[in-house]
Chains A and B, each alone.
Chain A
Amino acid sequence: AQSVTQPDIHITVSEGASLELRCNYSYGATPYLFWYVQSPGQGLQLLLKYFSGDTLVQGIKGFEAEFKRSQSSFNLRKPSVHWSDAAEYFCAVARGTGSARQLTFGSGTQLTVLP
């Protein structure tokens, strides 16, 4: 069975600083990987996804993620964090092809941004 681990429960960064959120997955086949963001009282919003091809994927809001098969990782990065990025971030892996297949989520990383 697939699983996703987000080792950092809570991360605090200053506005303007760089950000990296870690994600490790366990999956027997080629993974389909996603990063979602959830603001308080909001549903999940897709930031970016990886299916195949270029291992560095660009997403919305200036986020990017790099797929590293050798490390079973899919870390999310942003060069300069804005106060509006404060939210909870979830990494997920899909079983089977396509975005809407059954997703397995990590437990999330809460991001706090200091002024």
Chain B
Amino acid sequence: DAGVTQSPTHLIKTRGQQVTLRCSPKSGHDTVSWYQQALGQGPQFIFQYYEEEERQRGNFPDRFSGHQFPNYSSELNVNALLLGDSALYLCASSYQSTGELFFGEGSRLTVL
């Protein structure tokens, strides 16, 4: 049984570019949450998707957007990248919003 899978594992972008990160939830899970983990910090909640809609959102600007597909997989999009967007982006899945969270290994984004 595959756990939460994320792609790509590493990527490098330049300021002003746009990036898309992808997440496939654990089998049987229907809810996907995204977290940003800056170096030396704990993860910060970006948003959560359930039934293809954004259900909760943390304190992140509109440059951060997402999508959930009918198969429950999800994308995180970041526009107009800033140096401060460099971080590990973690995807977590659960069965509905009350289930235990399972985290992927993350996508490491470096913005130059």
Contact = CB atoms under 8 A, between A and B. Distances in A.
Interface of A: 4, 36, 41-46, 49, 90, 92, 97-108
10 contacts: A44-B92, A44-B103, A90-B43, A99-B101, A100-B96, A100-B97, A100-B101, A103-B35, A103-B45, A107-B41
Interface residues of B, number: 26
B42 A100 contact: no
B90 A44 contact: yes
Contacts, number: 64
Interface in B61-98: 90, 92, 94, 96-98
A104 B45 contact: yes
Contacts of A103: 35, 43, 45, 101
Contacts of B31: 100
A100 B98 CA distance: 5
